[in-house]
């Protein structure tokens, strides 16, 4: 079998295993009639939102495809459309199974924690394996088809760049739209249900509770899947372009083989998690075992592949550097969001109320940016010394090579969260809810680590794409003494803040409508608070849907248009200004994303720490203050923060594709 044949086979293996896991999940017991009814309501709400989101997205994707076809090539436009379809497919299939795994996880929790972990992680693995498999198959498929049949018309490197933009386009809409949906529902449910009415989380009397659970799926499953699919494809494209420049065809082969063998490593790691869960190993330990095994195997494979393909071990050090950097960022994130800092925030809630809770959480988020940046900077330097710009791209490949299992661990969290909600709404025993709570708390930690991992990979991927842009427009180096470059840097640094403000305002506005609706139902529906009447869940779902669809377009369009505006405003100095824009957005975007993700997660876990009985427990003044902090952090960690990852990569990818064409007249 040829090298590329191996890549196709291993990518297909990931997809096949995802299908097998999906079938096995559907065969499991979904629980009693009430559990099935709740799960079906979540399924229907999620599907309804995605259909509307995809309609809006399709309109803008069609317009952009026409622009690509006219300006670049119809072939690249087709590759762009293929990228959008593969990205949509990965997120949609993952969410389809996740919304069916939730009640089955709840039912499994009636048996044991190990059984519940097995079902929830199986659902997460469907997402992880689908994203990894389709990412490998889509990128290698476009590369090989264009190389064989259309290379006389367009370079395969340009074609896969178009494919990558398609993935980025979907990811931006999915992350922003899904993030607005989920956090508007979450904030509305918490502020009125917990704070004003004093009822428990996921209480079926709360009209926003179904919308909240729907949001977990459209934001943290479909949105996150599209996000990391885009990161995965972007890292492959950056690596293939810089590898071709450095080592010719072998440079591209090494990248594709690394992600393919990384997919196999992920499969083996996933199987170890299943084995550990059957042996009733603690969920945290089971997930760690699988992740560590997958990364060790990837390192071993990197030695073999580097020697076999590049005729040296030059490719190994950057791969190891990327893996170490990713793990380091994950552990640093875990410390700031699940260790001593959250106890400090909880103490602030008890001593000073909401204001000190917010101030302390902000300080923790700011402090949490320093060490990850040190590791990223060190990884960039080591990788560059080892193999030049190609080394930086390989570090990103190393970090994302085991995406199959890292995303599985991340995607399991929302399923566990939904399972806990179903247990509460279905009135199951405290023992079942305590088991789902164990998985849910762990899910919050893995989600925070996943966001840190996504941010780190975004930094390296964007840097590789940025380097490719500099090479494609023949800038050589970026002159930081040039006023045009500095102007671009300043504008680029401000762009993530403008983007984030739009996302946060969208959540705030939609959440306000949600709050009013929940208050209205509590006030006007007789017997609702006594549990003698059902709330109108559909009304709250409609509010989140309309708010997300209405507000996701503006920040997305600004992102897409920014490179073109900068290039034309600065005319013959457009290359330098656009380079500055990419550099500025990369630096400020990474820092802002880490800050928002970790501050939000630390507020969330401080609230959960208090709910465990500390500082007065549920219903105390400290608890009410922590809910306010969690509410502030929600749009930061789940809407604006994750979306910045896509912002910086999409800016770089668009610049890479259109930059050489735009530079021609000058």
pLDDT digits (tens, 9 = 90+) for 301-313: 999 999 999 999 9
| CA-to-CA dists, residue 445 to 136, 355, 368, 433, angstroms | 28, 24, 15, 18
Please check whether residue 598 is in contact with residue 368, taking contact to mean a CB–CB distance below 8 angstroms: yes
Distance CA 26, CA 37 (A): 16
User: Can you read off the two tokens belonging to residue 309?
Assistant: 């393909």
Please check whether residue 318 is in contact with residue 290, taking contact to mean a CB–CB distance below 8 angstroms: no
Centroid of chain to Cα 297: 24
| CA-to-CA dists, residue 253 to 31, 277, 308, 310, 328, angstroms | 48, 36, 11, 9, 28
List all residues 6 or more positions away from 426 whose beta carbon is below 8 Å from its beta carbon: 31, 32, 34, 35, 38, 106
List all residues 6 or more positions away from 134 whose beta carbon is below 8 Å from its beta carbon: 11, 15, 86, 89, 90, 229
Distance CA 567, CA 581 (A): 10
Please check whether residue 91 is in contact with residue 80, taking contact to mean a CB–CB distance below 8 angstroms: no
Q: pLDDT of 622-642, one tens digit each? A: 998 998 899 899 899 888 988
Please check whether residue 596 is in contact with residue 640, taking contact to mean a CB–CB distance below 8 angstroms: yes
pLDDT recorded at residue 645? 85
User: Rounded to 10 degrees, what is the CA torsion of 61, 65, 66, 70?
Assistant: 150
Average the pLDDT over 578-582 and give the result: 94
pLDDT recorded at residue 666? 46
- The number of residues in the chain equals 666
Residue 640 backbone dihedrals phi, psi, to 5 degrees: -70, -50
Distance CA 573, CA 563 (A): 13
Distance CA 638, CA 645 (A): 12
Max Cα–Cα distance, the chain, nearest Å: 76
Q: pLDDT of 362-407, one tens digit each? A: 999 999 999 999 999 999 999 999 999 899 999 999 988 888 998 8
| CA-to-CA dists, residue 298 to 293, 402, 405, angstroms | 9, 8, 12
pTM of the model: 0.88
Residue 234 backbone dihedrals phi, psi, to 5 degrees: -60, -40
List all residues 6 or more positions away from 607 whose beta carbon is below 8 Å from its beta carbon: 346, 623, 626, 627, 629, 630
80-84, 280-284, 553-557, 652-656: the lowest-pLDDT one: 280-284
Please check whether residue 188 is in contact with residue 515, taking contact to mean a CB–CB distance below 8 angstroms: yes
Specify the 3-state DSSP secondary structure of 479: coil
User: Residue 569 CB: number of other CB atoms within 10 A?
Assistant: 12
| Cα-based angle 435, 415, 273 (whole degrees, multiple of 5) | 75
Range with top average pLDDT, 107-111, 235-239, 366-370, 603-607: 366-370
Distance CA 218, CA 209 (A): 15
Sign (positive or negative) of CA dihedral 25, 29, 33, 34: negative
Instruction: Give the N- to C-terminal CA distance of the chain in Å, as an integer.
Output: 47
Distance CA 63, CA 127 (A): 29
Closest alpha carbon to 651 in 507, 399, 455, 461: 461
Closest alpha carbon to 334 in 183, 472, 441: 441
Distance CA 186, CA 299 (A): 40
Please check whether residue 53 is in contact with residue 173, taking contact to mean a CB–CB distance below 8 angstroms: yes
Distance CA 454, CA 226 (A): 12
Place of tokens 């009447």: 533
Distance CA 631, CA 9 (A): 45
* Angle, helices 553-569/156-188, rounded to nearest 10 degrees: 140
38-52, 98-112, 589-603: the lowest-pLDDT one: 38-52
User: Can you read off the two tokens belonging to residue 658?
Assistant: 């259109």
Average the pLDDT over 566-571 and give the result: 90
Distance CA 217, CA 544 (A): 13
Instruction: State yes or no: pLDDT of 482 exceeds 70.
Output: yes
Share of the chain above pLDDT 90, in %: 47
Q: pLDDT of 334-355, one tens digit each? A: 899 888 999 999 999 988 899 9
Dump the DSSP string for 117-136. Answer: HHHHHHHHHHHHHHHHHHHH
Closest alpha carbon to 644 in 238, 88, 227: 227
Q: Map out the domains of the chain as residue ranges.
A: 16-25+33-663
Phi-psi sector, 371: left (phi>0), alpha (psi -120 to 50), beta: alpha
Range with top average pLDDT, 224-228, 406-410, 495-499, 604-608: 495-499
């Amino acid at each position: 079998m040829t090298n590329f044949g191996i890549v196709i086979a291993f990518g297909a293996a990931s997809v096949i295993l995802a299908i097998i896991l999906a079938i096995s999940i559907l065969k499991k017991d979904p629980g009693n009639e009430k559990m099935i009814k709740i799960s079906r309501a979540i399924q229907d709400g999620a599907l309804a939102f995605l259909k509307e989101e995809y309609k809006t997205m399709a309109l803008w994707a069609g317009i952009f495809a026409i622009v690509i076809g006219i300006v670049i090539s119809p072939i690249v436009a087709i590759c762009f459309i293929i990228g959008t379809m593969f990205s949509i497919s990965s997120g949609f299939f993952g969410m389809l199974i996740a919304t069916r795994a939730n009640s089955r996880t709840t039912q499994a929790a009636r048996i044991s924690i190990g059984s519940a972990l097995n079902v929830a992680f199986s659902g997460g693995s469907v997402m992880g394996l689908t994203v990894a498999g389709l990412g490998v198959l889509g990128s290698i498929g476009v590369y090989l088809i264009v190389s064989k049949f259309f290379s006389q018309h367009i370079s395969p490197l340009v074609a896969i760049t178009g494919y990558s933009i398609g993935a980025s386009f979907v990811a931006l809409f999915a992350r922003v739209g899904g993030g607005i949906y989920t956090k508007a529902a979450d904030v509305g449910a918490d502020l009125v249900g917990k704070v004003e009415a004093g009822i428990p989380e996921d209480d079926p009397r709360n009209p926003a509770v179904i919308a909240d659970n729907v949001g977990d799926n459209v934001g943290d499953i479909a949105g996150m899947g599209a996000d990391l699919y885009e990161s995965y494809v972007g890292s492959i494209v950056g690596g293939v372009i810089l590898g071709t420049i450095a080592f010719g065809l072998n440079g591209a082969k090494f990248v594709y083989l690394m992600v393919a063998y990384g997919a196999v490593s992920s499969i083996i790691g996933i199987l170890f998690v299943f084995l550990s869960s059957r042996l009733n190993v603690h969920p945290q330990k089971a997930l760690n075992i699988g992740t560590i095994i997958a990364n060790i195997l990837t390192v071993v494979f990197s030695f073999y592949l580097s020697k076999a393909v590049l005729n040296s071990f030059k490719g190994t050090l950057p791969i190891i550097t990327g893996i170490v950097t990713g793990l380091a960022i994950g552990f640093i994130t875990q410390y700031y969001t699940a260790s001593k800092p959250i106890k400090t925030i909880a103490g602030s809630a008890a001593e000073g109320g909401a204001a000190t809770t917010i101030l302390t959480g902000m300080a923790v988020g700011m402090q949490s940016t320093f060490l990850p940046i040190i590791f990223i900077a060190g990884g960039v330097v080591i990788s560059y010394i080892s193999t030049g710009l190609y080394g930086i791209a390989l570090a990103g490949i190393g970090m994302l090579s085991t995406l199959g299992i890292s995303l599985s661990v991340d995607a399991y969290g929302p399923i566990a969260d939904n399972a806990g909600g179903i247990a509460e709404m279905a009135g199951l025993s405290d023992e079942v809810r305590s088991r789902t709570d164990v998985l849910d708390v762990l899910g919050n930690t893995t989600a925070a680590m996943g966001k840190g991992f996504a941010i780190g990979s975004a930094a390296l991927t964007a840097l590789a794409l940025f380097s490719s842009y500099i090479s494609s427009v023949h800038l050589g180096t970026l002159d930081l003494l040039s006023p045009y470059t500095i102007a671009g840097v300043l504008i680029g640094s401000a762009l993530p803040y403008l983007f984030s403000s739009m996302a946060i305002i969208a959540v705030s506005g939609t959440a306000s409508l949600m709050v009013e609706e929940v208050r209205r139902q509590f006030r006007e529906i007789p017997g609702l608070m006594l549990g003698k009447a059902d709330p109108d869940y559909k009304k709250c779902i409609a509010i989140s849907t309309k708010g997300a669809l209405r507000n996701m377009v503006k920040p997305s369009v600004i992102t897409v248009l920014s490179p073109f505006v900068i290039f034309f405003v600065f005319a013959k100095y457009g290359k330098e200004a656009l380079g500055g824009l990419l550099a500025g957005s990369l630096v400020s975007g990474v820092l802002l994303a880490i800050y928002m993700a970790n501050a939000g997660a630390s507020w969330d876990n401080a609230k959960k720490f208090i709910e465990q009985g500390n500082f007065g427990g549920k219903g105390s003044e400290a608890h009410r203050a922590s809910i306010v902090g969690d509410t502030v952090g929600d749009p930061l960690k789940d809407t604006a923060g994750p979306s910045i990852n896509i912002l910086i990569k999409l800016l770089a990818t668009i610049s890479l594709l259109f930059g050489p064409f735009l530079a021609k007249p000058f």
